[in-house]
Chain A
């Protein structure tokens, strides 16, 4: 188990280095950000001086190596627009994004797991057909459209929830601000997980050991929940890690719709402003979160299912 963790850890570090290289390379193509730091009527000489000062006149791999050296010490440079350290700008907004993504995951699982179980246990019933149709609909709704519709109905028409931002007046207010964005972000994953739980449980229910459980005369809840469901959970648990990545990505859109002050809306704005260090910082730190979550689920999974460790 120890070597498995060490190997996965090393893999994760390699992946993160690769991510920074990829993002750095892509953004290096955007052109020279020197012009953002000098006034528009600066002379050619002045531009050259600032470019040299900021180090943008060196080859990209030199700049990248220097960036990486600093990044491992938690230093992502300074925002070209705000003049503040990137690390503090991003970290300040990270809790909002994590709060949104975790709430969405929570909503997704609390709805998807029971719905999936009942659908599998009552296969082809009206409930099964209705909830699976609902799941396909949920998978087909664009995040931003869903968000806007929820805003229109529950924010604008009914005035139940605020139409944007993150609450600041105590837990009640924070919760009221969180509801609509969390539902918006969680819907896609909820729909997919409901389908996954259902199909995975259906598969286990057809296995021989479940037939044995039935023939022992066990009650339906005992067979379905205690015997079948535990094994059916395995593919669901594996996918939660990946799901979290999709939620972080979806947060980019959701945060933009709801003016949620997280890393997602920050990165969209930074790209628009060509604030290169902020973009790299946001993407890298989101990737760190994602890789850490996946590492955690993999280790947990290896702990739960010893077969995995040897692969």
Chain B
């Protein structure tokens, strides 16, 4: 009996969302009107994604090899600049522009996948904690407290020192160090949503715990999650850059923005500022773009959320 009700409910829900989706998309786009910063941010991100994706096609040079004869050439507009290397070259004669383009790959891949993984862990644990309450809630929240007592970057450094560098390890570590935010956010919201009548109705109809959590409660907290996740992408890109800077990220062979800044650090005195400035600006612009998009999404989806 209960199965029949749920089965009957499913096409209805799907139908409802089909009607709503296009309107929602149009409203989201309409909210861009007058927000020139958000539009600028979307353009920046588009450019970063494009240069990361198209780096193998567009980059003028190979990112990992250079000629020592071309070492430390300044950008093309300075005296001594070489037209082949628009943004100059590093110590090993590698083209800065090409390396900055390739560097976008690691930042974007790590930033996005670590946030998705952290979200998956944190949302699930937050749902479980807030929905079941009691001992499991206590356990999850105490673990969260313990993790919050450790500065995130410190925990990430310690874990990467153990696991060793590598793309998967960086994603894993940044996910593990960031799940708490989602867990606490989701738990807090679940506590209020679970008392609503429609949840009680679902329970009376015999809907299972997992279905109530993921199909009935989760959509109600999704707006806040999207907003928090968008800012988390920015902070994760920053964290990855910091780890690369310390030499703990994906390994020395892969061009990363943080790694490039670290390599240029020794040139502060000797004055080859372009070696660390361009990758540093790339990080800053990308993170700025993500933050501005986050601001826009917050104002649109959940203006009362404080992030």
A contacts, CB < 8 Å to B: 11, 14-16, 18-19, 22-23, 26-27, 29-30, 133, 136-137, 139-145, 148-149, 151-152, 155-156, 163, 196, 199-200, 235, 242, 245-246, 248-250, 252-253, 256-257, 267-268, 271-272, 279, 283, 286-287, 290-291, 294
Contact = CB atoms under 8 A, between A and B. Distances in A.
Nearest to A23: B158
Interface string B150-166: 11111101110110000
A245 B180 CA distance: 15
Quick one: which of B271, B284, B285 has the most chain A CB within 10 A?
A: B284
A136 B291 contact: yes
In the complex, the 7 A-B pairs of residues with the closest C-beta atoms, listed nearest first = A249-B151, A18-B146, A145-B280, A140-B288, A140-B287, A271-B161, A249-B153
Interface residues on B, range: 35 or more
Contacts of A199: 306
5 contacts: A19-B150, A249-B151, A253-B245, A272-B161, A283-B154
Contact of B154 (A145, A148, A286): A286
A279 B241 contact: no
Given A136-B292, A140-B288, A30 B162 contact: yes
B202 interface: no
Q: What secondary structure prevails in chain A residues at the interface with B?
A: helix
Contact of A271 (B147, B158, B241): B158
Contacts of B291: 136, 139-140
A283 B280 contact: no
Interface string B138-177: 0000110111111111110111011000000000000000
B280 A148 contact: yes
B306 A19 contact: no
B306 A235 contact: yes
Contacts of B269: 156, 163
Contacts of B155: 22
Q: What secondary structure prevails in chain B residues at the interface with A?
A: helix
Given A19-B146, A148-B280, A151-B268, 7 more contacts: A136-B291, A140-B234, A149-B277, A156-B271, A199-B306, A271-B161, A286-B151
B265 interface: yes
Contacts of A151: 268
Contacts of B264: 148
B158 A27 contact: yes
Contact of B157 (A142, A200, A267): A267
A142 B146 CA distance: 26
A306 B169 CA distance: 45
Contacts of A267: 154, 157
A283 B150 contact: yes
Contact of B268 (A11, A26, A163): A163
Contacts of B245: 142, 144, 253
A202 to B, nearest CB: 11
B129 to A, nearest CB: 17
Given A140-B288, A142-B283, A253-B246, A30 B157 contact: no
A151 B152 CA distance: 26
A25 B176 CA distance: 15
Contact of A142 (B158, B161, B284): B284
A291 B149 contact: yes
B242 A143 contact: yes
B122 interface: no
A294 B288 CA distance: 30
Interface in B111-158: 142-143, 145-155, 157-158
A196 B306 CA distance: 8
A268 B145 contact: no
B246 A145 contact: no
B235 to A, nearest CB: 9
A275 to B, nearest CB: 11
B295 interface: yes
A139 B234 CA distance: 9
B49 interface: no
B246 A256 contact: yes
B186 interface: no
A231 B149 CA distance: 27
Contacts of B179: none
Contact of A145 (B145, B148, B159, B283): B283
Interface in B267-292: 268-269, 271, 273, 276-277, 280, 283-285, 287-288, 291-292
